[in-house]
Chain A
Amino acid sequence: GAGVSQSPSNKVTEKGKDVELRCDPISGHTALYWYRQSLGQGLEFLIYFQGNSAPDKSGLPSDRFSAERTGGSVSTLTIQRTQQEDSAVYLCASSLAPTSGVNTQYFGPGTRLTVL
């Protein structure tokens, strides 16, 4: 079946603009995760959704970052008033429900964000 998809693949924006990044998880996966990959910080967890709720949003770096998930499927990560340090690859992953006993996360191809 189809894997995790993310759009856009690449996004270039100007400092101060808002951006929205989209993630479409594997069908049937109720858990969804956002991570950020940057040269200086490596791979960092941002937020985790179970269904439409976010039990763990501890990795969001500032209040400029927010995420939502609707219908238990697609998720949008929004960065307001982008800064140059937001430049990174944003990765989305999904996994089955915890009751499945299988918690392996499957990743999308990522969105490369460049803030000029």
Chain B
Amino acid sequence: GQQLNQSPQSMFIQEGEDVSMNCTSSSIFNTWLWYKQDPGEGPVLLIALYKAGELTSNGRLTAQFGITRKDSFLNISASIPSDVGIYFCAGFPSGGGADGLTFGKGTHLIIQP
């Protein structure tokens, strides 16, 4: 099946720093979604991207749909303690929704005081 390569696997940063993570695939995706998951909870949708080249912001978060449709990145500016958690990229492959969302393995963000 489809696979998404998400990196880095984990990040240890200082409060106030900017964060960047990305996701790549060997095949084309029609939609990219970025989620955040806290322990014991379900993933929460952060940003949705539908067009190649699209750049979308949600507060301190910015995400882009790569022009090749095979990658996406998420940036977080001026990190704060509540940004701690696991961030997942996910996408619908070009064949449509019948294959469901494919998820990356997650980026674990840890903020050091």
Q: Do A and B bind each other?
A: no
